[in-house]
Structure 1
Amino acid sequence: MSQQYPNWTHDQLMREYYDHYWGFPVHDERELFRMLTLEMFQAGLSWATIWRKRAAFDEAFANFDIQQIASFDDQKIEQLMQNAAIIRNRRKIEATINNARVLQKYHAMGKTLDHFLWSFVDGQPIELNAQQDTVLPAKTPLSTTISHQMKKAGFKFTGPTTIFSLLCAVGIVNGRVK
């Protein structure tokens, strides 16, 4: 039986993303932060645009080293604003730095983004049993709850739609085609 793909995998890049990344459970702290950041930058744009630029984002954001990003200052923000290889949105850049600083505080308390996100599903992915033509919702009660808790903790640019997209991308919600 040949691989079934969701309708949004319209080109080879998106099929490779689907085959190797989307929907597989992620527990690595740096990768979770990377995906959170990329999902934030995606808001208002296509995921394909962001995914094509991921190497540039990796380079611009110190391979998503939380400690390094938390130390970014105004000079670094201006440097990032001049980097044509990434999305130059000051609010999203500043949110990324803010979120790294929030995670620093989490880590200092012995907490992780991994535990935080996965605790909402007791460590087990939610299975959507999606079909090829399934249209996933923009947000869910779960993503709204997590968004609210993240904002309460000080995270920025973590609305329910961004969070639902993150949950699917990192396998907390399994929307892969059955």
Structure 2
Amino acid sequence: MRAMRCFGDGDPLYERYHDTEWGFPVREERAVFERVCLEAFQSGLAWITILRKRETFRAAFDGFDPERVARYGDGDVARLMGDAGIVRNRAKIEASIANARAVLTLRDEGVDLGELLWSFAPAAPAGGADGSSGVPATTAESRALAKELKRRGFRFVGPTTAYAAMQACGVVNDHLAGCPVRADVEAARAASGAAA
């Protein structure tokens, strides 16, 4: 019997995301910013909903270029609220703009968003849960990260959203113990300098 994925079986888009993206290390500023934004948009929704709209989100938010998004004004908010291809939630849209501005402030302070995110990696990696009920929604590290991001001007980044971003960027490897991708993710994390 073949090992089962943690999630995504039966949906090619979801399977590809699980097998090639989720948990693999992401450190580059724009890519981390995109994941933080998308995880905020996902709050209260199924991730597959966001995944199906991701290309439209990328187009609507100028490829999640923090410099461009930081310049958005009321007209851009109205444009985004009228875009049926994304999640039209004013608070989440405005949070993404505020977060882009926070990224630029970080830059001005000599802080890289990816490095900041990764600085909250747990000291000891988890061994891999046997079932999805063993995967936490928050951790001490995600609570600390959320607090630090909020202190630095980020919005819509509570501990659950912060933890989802940590998972998406490979700061933690929450692929289940029997998942066929878990070892590949751990190898990629080790190669990127993450704690093995």
Fold equivalence (TM over 0.5): yes
Q: Which residues of 2 match residues 1-178 of structure 1 at below 5 A?
A: 2-6=2-6, 8-12=7-11, 13-121=13-121, 126-131=125-130, 133-135=131-133, 136-178=135-177
Q: Percent identity?
A: 39
Give the Cα–Cα distance (whole angstroms) in 2 for the partners of residues 3 and 167 of structure 1.
25
* TM-score, length basis structure 1: 0.92
- 1:120 is displaced (CA, Å) by 1.8
Give the 3-state SS of the residue equivalent to 1:53 in structure 2.
helix
**How many correspondences in the alignment?**
175
Does the CA contact (< 8 Å) of 1:128 and 1:173 recur in 2? no
- 1:109 is displaced (CA, Å) by 1.8
Structure 1 stretches lacking a partner, 5+ long: none
Give the 3-state SS of the residue equivalent to 1:126 in structure 2.
coil
Can you list the C-alpha shifts for 1:135-158, whole angstroms capped at 9, x where unaligned? 212111111111111111111000
Give the Cα–Cα distance (whole angstroms) in 2 for the partners of residues 144 and 27 of structure 1.
20
Give the Cα–Cα distance (whole angstroms) in 2 for the partners of residues 57 and 126 of structure 1.
32
Can you list the C-alpha shifts for 1:10-63, whole angstroms capped at 9, x where unaligned? 432221110011000111111100000000000010000000000000000000
The runs of 4+ residues in structure 1 deviating greater than 4 Å are none
Does the CA contact (< 8 Å) of 1:125 and 1:173 recur in 2? no
Q: Counterpart of 2:132 in structure 1: which amino acid? A: T
Give the Cα–Cα distance (whole angstroms) in 1 for the partners of residues 129 and 165 of structure 2.
17
